[in-house]
Amino acid sequence: MSQKTISKTHVRSLLDIRDKYRAAGKEWPAQSRDIARWAIDQGLWEVPPELALKKCTREMSEALKSERHTDAQGRQGVRTNVAARIGHPDEEGEIKQAVLWDDLRTASEDHLLASFRQQRKQAIGDCKSVQLQVDSANDNNPHLTDRPIKMVWDLTEEIEEAMQNDESVWDLTEEIEEAMQNDESVDPQRPR
């Protein structure tokens, strides 16, 4: 955090803590981490509630996103919690856009449809980003002049195969490196 992002008053209060640290006979010169630890231990500094809330929110979202289960049909690794950005009343009762989490097994149809549509839109955005990279590489990379990379965006076969093989992605790194060494083309749609 630079001085530009914190107020002069707050900077002064932190420098006062530094002065108290030194007056307490603590080791000097010192690392800012040591001064901070001492300040917290002495009750001179507390985590601002908004910062704690932001960190906890981020960690909670990661935990909810990471939870998986095996469904009744034996599909392993099914994401348990689904997020959807939908209108939700805030503390004052006004409807605001918010990301709400729900359990895949009990969520309403509306929540599931919103979540799946949003995830699909994100996947399309990811594919667009890859296609932009491919187009730019084909147009600007001299190694691709004679053999431009062509992407096929019908992923039906790959998704079906991944479902059968319990795979989510294929690592083509070694195959691409080997093909480039052997001056061969690589089919990025074909799993290894």
pLDDT (tens digit per residue) in 132-188: 999 999 999 999 999 999 999 999 988 888 888 764 444 444 555 555 555 544 444
The answer as to whether 191 is a domain residue is no
pTM for the full predicted model: 0.63
Same domain for 65 and 24: no
Structural domain total, the chain? 2
* pLDDT at residue 125, as a whole number: 95
Same domain for 39 and 60: no
Same domain for 20 and 96: no
Same domain for 127 and 89: yes
When pLDDT is cut at 50, 70 and 90, the band that residue 3 belongs to is very low
The answer as to whether 168 is a domain residue is no
The answer as to whether 102 is a domain residue is yes
The answer as to whether 14 is a domain residue is yes
Same domain for 116 and 139: yes
**pLDDT digits 0-9 by tens, 12-43:** 999 999 999 999 999 999 999 999 999 999 99
The answer as to whether 169 is a domain residue is no
The answer as to whether 93 is a domain residue is yes
Same domain for 74 and 40: no
When pLDDT is cut at 50, 70 and 90, the band that residue 2 belongs to is very low
Same domain for 131 and 40: no
**Spatial CA neighbour of 45 closest among 15, 22, 25, 24:** 15
* pLDDT at residue 95, as a whole number: 92
Same domain for 27 and 68: no
Q: Which residues contact 183 (CB under 8 A, 6 or more apart)?
A: none
The answer as to whether 42 is a domain residue is yes
- Using the predicted structure, report yes or no on whether residue 123 has a pLDDT greater than 80: yes
Q: Which residue has the higher pLDDT, 191 or 132?
A: 132
Same domain for 59 and 14: no
Instruction: Give the residue from 31, 46, 61 where a domain finishes.
Output: 46
The answer as to whether 138 is a domain residue is yes
* pLDDT at residue 88, as a whole number: 86
Output the six-digit token pair for 33.
């981490």
Rounded alpha-carbon distances, angstroms, from residue 14 to 26, 34, 50, 95, 101: 16, 13, 19, 39, 38
Same domain for 95 and 135: yes
**pLDDT digits 0-9 by tens, 86-120:** 998 888 999 999 999 999 999 999 999 999 999 99
Same domain for 62 and 34: no
Same domain for 110 and 30: no
- d(Cα 18, Cα 128) in Å, to the nearest integer? 51
Q: Which residue has the higher pLDDT, 5 or 94?
A: 94
* pLDDT at residue 120, as a whole number: 94
One-letter amino acid of 41: D
**pLDDT digits 0-9 by tens, 35-92:** 999 999 999 998 888 889 999 999 999 999 999 999 999 999 999 999 999 998 888 9
Q: Residue 36: give the domain boundaries.
A: 3-46
